[in-house]
Chains A and B, each alone.
Chain A
Amino acid sequence: MANMKINKKDLVQLLGQWSQEFELFVPSRDGDNPRFLPWDGKDTGFLDWYRNTVIPPKSTMLPPVEEMFRFQKEKGKVQLEAPSADSKRRLLFGIRPCDANAMTLLDKNFEDGYEDPYYFNRRKNTLLVGLACTRPYDSCFCTSMGGSPSDASKVDIMLTDIGEQFLVEAVTDAGKDLIAKTGGLEEATEADAARAEESRKAAERKVTRKVDTSDITERLRASFEDKEFWEKTAAKCVSCGICTFLCPTCYCFFINDETNKQCGVRCKGWDSCAFSCYTRMPMENPRSEKWKRVRQKMAHKYEYYPMTYGVMACTGCGRCIRNCPVNWDITQVIKSVPAKARVESK
């Protein structure tokens, strides 16, 4: 299928068309708290300010709080009631390549062993329409994590800014089907393709933060027992949940029952390995010390994930750097992990 294009000012009509069939999510300012919210059907004002959201789009698949089921005890029997499943198909418009990449990383965890129904009910029902990044932040480092501001490989449809228009590229079959039945698109010319290429290169040049992750897995393994290094690294961390909650690839959740006498609801919600109570057990807490939690966070992303799934659990979106209250910079930590074991492992 040839690439298409659409005028920026016609984007409202395009979204209007799609919102007939899909529940449409777009980047929304929500006061001063950018996140993906259902489209209000009005405009595409987000194009003016949108760089990336603070709350990552994982919140549309793995919400901060989610009801798993309700339960009620009646005459000695327990009745369970599942929440009504959303059946309407969803479309996430404007997801950045780094966050789309993060979705594929989340998939790996939630399909491991068995498919998590809560996550995949939404994930499989959702089409991702990417918007190539033109204004990366100074904290972005996607190019060091194998991505790029215009990487189209993890979305269904990709839009690239070519001035007055967007180049529209159908990537997956689902994307192609949707484009085929979407009106108002023009076929792109070779000049458009060239302009898109230029736009991609320009954006890539703006990603100035670089970090070499080629041997980080080995370095982390070698430094596991290096308490001195980890204590120094963790010193200024305040153990809040910002970097994990805002990370598009972090998926930890707790399960909690809210009960009242004979009935209640079982919920799941975001949890964070940065919290000191995260691993608390009746007898002990294996990660009660801060440096162990910081080590865990690093090792999970850059050592255990690659060992288990062959990819690192980081896409370089930079949210953890931008939003950290003490400027704990994960790229600096990646750089500083010692190359050789300084401590004999036991």
Chain B
Amino acid sequence: MEQKLRSEARALLEQGKVDYIFGYEPGSLKFTTTPLLTRDKNDVDRLVVNPFIVNNLAKFLTELKGRVGIVVKGCDSRSLVSLIQDNKVARGNVVILGVPCEGLIDLSKVEKLVGRERDELDDILREGDKVFVTVDGKKREFPIADVAFDKCLACELPTPKEYDILLGAPTSPIGQKDAGYTAIDNLKGKIPQERWEFWKKEFSRCIRCYACRNVCPACFCQRCFVEETEPKWVEPTANWQDNLLFQVVRNIHVAGRCSDCGECERACPVKIPLRALTREMYDIVGELFDFKTGMDKNEPSLMTHYEKEEAEGLIR
């Protein structure tokens, strides 16, 4: 897959079909990758595809002007299609290099399972549905469902539907949907006051670094409401009330644009379980309006469209 990606990317740059290639290259730390955003055809040999390509590169599309060849997984492709629906990206300006995704490995799950931190692991190897982790010279085997990100377990579209070049044979979902819902199910079992208390506690440690917002391809506003000072919607100080308000409103603002790619949760340095919010919103939107983010570029986006009769039960 990597070879195909590199040659396609090189051809795109050489033929002048794109100005940039957005992909992944090996990161500076073990078992990581980092976004490679380049105009230089000599860089394409560094491109990789592996179970650690976590970033959602659609985020960078709204920043740069020009035609882009972009590597996307299923979830990223939905973010990209959503941007096309919102007219933030022109379909003709992107060449989509689709990666049929087999699920990404959540290093924090691996760390918990083997009781060691990422940099102390010798090797992580993916073979089919199994993942082999070597630590202290001993090789341990785990089913992919134990070490994949929750979002990957709940994934509905591992292979991009919208693409120009598909880099491999289509894959099917891991099919452990329930396992991807553990956090949400736990919350739903609680009474409202307990749920609110839960979020209050979680958001009390938010330091307002805005990584959740800044890694999000759906958060493309030039200026976010939290940065407004007249009127001041939220205080800039990191108190739990304003932290929570920020995140709730952010989730509502990206409803129908969020593809549940889980980047907000992964980026959070204080590990707030943000996917328990994004996934619920994803499901609410699906349930109320039968809408799934980024499935069809010709479909109107959630908030620009309506049906004559819908959701009336919620209005007096």
Contacts and interface: CB of A to CB of B under 8 A. Distances in A.
On whether A and B touch (CB less than 8 Å), the answer reads: yes
Contacts, number: 107
Q: What are the nearest 5 A-B pairs in CB distance?
A: A241-B209, A325-B267, A240-B211, A327-B34, A138-B119
B269 interface: yes
Contacts of A235: 35, 37, 60
Given A240-B209, A326-B35, A326-B55, A269 B238 contact: yes
Given A54-B270, A254-B236, A326-B35, A240 B29 contact: no
Nearest to A65: B237
Given A238-B59, A240-B210, A329-B28, A269 B271 contact: no
A326 B34 contact: yes
B186 to A, nearest CB: 15
A239 B237 contact: no
Contacts of A236: 34-37, 60
Contacts of B207: 55, 64, 241, 245, 270
A139 B209 contact: no
A322 interface: yes
Interface string B163-190: 0000000000000000000000000000
A263 to B, nearest CB: 15
Interface string B247-278: 00000000000000001001101110000000
A32 interface: yes
Contact of B209 (A51, A137, A272, A327): A272
Interface of A: 30-33, 51, 54-55, 64-65, 135, 137-139, 235-236, 238-242, 245-246, 254, 256, 258, 267, 269-272, 275, 277, 290, 321-323, 325-329, 331-332
A32 B108 CA distance: 10
Contacts of B34: 236, 326-329
B227 A322 contact: no
Contacts of B209: 240-242, 245, 272
Contacts of A271: 236
Contacts of B93: none
Contacts of A256: 235-237
B210 A241 contact: yes
A235 B237 CA distance: 29
Contacts of A55: 207, 270
Given A30-B205, A137-B117, A326-B215, 6 more contacts: A64-B238, A65-B239, A139-B28, A256-B237, A269-B208, A328-B34
Contacts of B214: 238-240
Contact of B211 (A30, A54, A241, A321): A241
Contacts of B239: 65
Contacts of A241: 207-211
A31 B235 contact: no
Contacts of A321: 28-29
Contacts of A277: 223, 227
B210 A31 contact: no
Contact of B269 (A30, A242, A290, A331): A242
Contacts of A331: 28
A238 B215 contact: yes
B236 A137 contact: no
Contacts of B55: 325-326
Interface of B: 27-30, 32-37, 55, 59-60, 63, 117, 119-120, 205, 207-211, 213-215, 223, 227, 235-239, 263, 266-267, 269-271
Contact of B32 (A137, A272, A275, A327): A327
Nearest to B27: A327
A65 B211 contact: no
Nearest to B266: A325
Contacts of B271: 31-33
B53 to A, nearest CB: 12
Nearest to A238: B214
> Helix, strand, loop or mixed for chain A's interface?
loop
A327 B237 contact: no
A323 B236 contact: no
Contact of B237 (A242, A267, A275, A332): A267
Given A239-B214, A325-B215, A325-B267, A33 B37 contact: no
Given A238-B211, A270-B207, A323 B35 contact: no
A327 B267 CA distance: 11
Contacts of B223: 277
A236 B263 CA distance: 15
B72 to A, nearest CB: 16
B236 A325 contact: no
Contacts of B238: 64-65, 269-270
B226 to A, nearest CB: 9
Contact of A325 (B30, B37, B263): B263
Contacts of A33: 205, 270-271
Given A236-B34, A240-B215, A267-B237, A139 B29 contact: yes
12 contacts: A55-B207, A138-B29, A138-B30, A235-B35, A235-B37, A238-B215, A240-B213, A325-B266, A326-B215, A327-B28, A329-B28, A329-B34
A327 B33 contact: yes
Contacts of A65: 237-239
A331 B28 CA distance: 9
B266 A275 contact: no
B314 to A, nearest CB: 33
Contacts of B35: 235-236, 326
Contacts of B208: 64, 241, 269-270
A137 B117 CA distance: 9
B208 to A, nearest CB: 7
Contacts of B213: 240
B211 A242 contact: yes
Nearest to A139: B29
A269 B28 CA distance: 31
